[in-house]
Amino acid sequence: MLIFGHRGSAGTHPENTMISFEEAARAGADGIELDIQLSKDGVPVVIHDEKLDRTTNGTGWVKDRTFYELKQLDAGAWFSDKFKGTRIPSLEEVLVWAQGNSLLINLELKTGIILYPQIEEKVIRLVEQYGLTGRVIISSFNHYSLVETRRIHRTIKTAILFSDGLYEPWKYAKTVEADGLHCHWPIAAYPVILDGAKQAGMPIRAYTVNDEARMREFMTNGVSAIFTDWPEKAVRIRRG
Ligand code: G3P
Ligand code: MG
């Protein structure tokens, strides 16, 4: 079972920042998960919420700020004074950093509330530019984004995100030409889902698994990967 640091190492570091991704790598995670939105001037940036208020010292919509304006904000102090001065990364910064490691990279396109123009194209071109198409999985709760991703790139891995009991999701995923299932963790405990996905040869990756007992369960029940805010803890448990 693979371990993805969710938003980096969001339990210990400010989510979706370089220092959080670095911590996930240091902890021995196999991959990182990060959330992508677009700035006003169309730059893919790494931040979970459509609004700045929760995780920065800014307010309002990400989409209304230029990349330069977003870069002025503090994305660490909300978490702890220790991280004051931490900035919102661009996707490009993460991809440049990823040149120096072998982590898997799950890019979650946040296209559910804001329909960012050409976000799929912009993200894929950057991933191609840095030669990372083989290490990237693109996921979204908006499955139209996955269809668009597949239209643009025939082989890059994609995965449907879903949170409830979608019926036979491995069949549905094929209708949007996705390669994997990223589900809310309770779904990854359904035997019928585990069996069906296994028979279809489709990986199940569960978010967000922070409880030790759940980590242990998923390490043996056939789940392919977990996303966790606590990669160090998950790695320690996996080592036994
Ligand atoms: O990609 C897995 C997980 O991150 C999906 O939910 O809200 O944490 O982005 P969220
Ligand atoms: Mg996410």
ipTM of this complex: 0.99
182 in contact with ligand 1, CB cutoff 6 A? yes
Active site residues: 6, 48
**Is-contact 181 203, C-beta < 8 A?**
yes
In the chain, the percentage of residues whose pLDDT exceeds 70 is 100
pLDDT band at 90 (very low <50, low <70, confident <90, very high): very high
pLDDT digits (tens, 9 = 90+) for 125-159: 999 999 999 999 999 999 999 999 999 999 999 99
pLDDT band at 219 (very low <50, low <70, confident <90, very high): very high
108 in contact with ligand 1, CB cutoff 6 A? yes
Average pLDDT value over all residues in the chain: 98
161 in contact with ligand 1, CB cutoff 6 A? yes
Q: Count how many residues are written for the chain.
A: 240
Ligand 1 site-directed mutation target among 161, 209, 229, most atoms within 8 Å of CB = 161
Question: What is the rounded distance in angstroms from the CA atom of residue 39 to the CA atom of residue 214?
Answer: 36
Question: What is the rounded distance in angstroms from the CA atom of residue 179 to the CA atom of residue 181?
Answer: 7
pLDDT at 174: 98
pLDDT average, residue stretch 8-28: 99
Where do the domains of the chain lie, and which CATH numbers do they carry?
A: 2-239 (3.20.20.190)
pLDDT average, residue stretch 99-104: 98
pLDDT average, residue stretch 91-109: 98
pLDDT at 34: 99
Ligand 2 centroid from CA 91, angstroms: 14
**Is-contact 98 130, C-beta < 8 A?**
yes
Which segments within 55-127 are labelled E, that is strand?
Answer: 104-109
Question: What is the rounded distance in angstroms from the CA atom of residue 194 to the CA atom of residue 203?
Answer: 9
pLDDT at 231: 98
Atom of ligand 1 nearest to the CA of 35: 9
Closest protein CA for atom 3 of ligand 1: 207
pLDDT at 33: 99
48 in contact with ligand 1, CB cutoff 6 A? yes
pLDDT at 167: 97
Ligand 2 centroid from CA 209, angstroms: 13
Question: What is the rounded distance in angstroms from the CA atom of residue 159 to the CA atom of residue 185?
Answer: 15
Q: Considering every ligand atom, which ligand is closest to the CA of 206?
A: 1
Ligand 1 centroid from CA 210, angstroms: 13
pLDDT at 202: 98
Ligand 2 centroid from CA 238, angstroms: 23
pLDDT at 118: 98
Closest protein CA for atom 7 of ligand 1: 48
pLDDT average, residue stretch 64-85: 98
Rama region for 114: left / alpha / beta (φ>0; ψ in -120 to 50; rest): beta
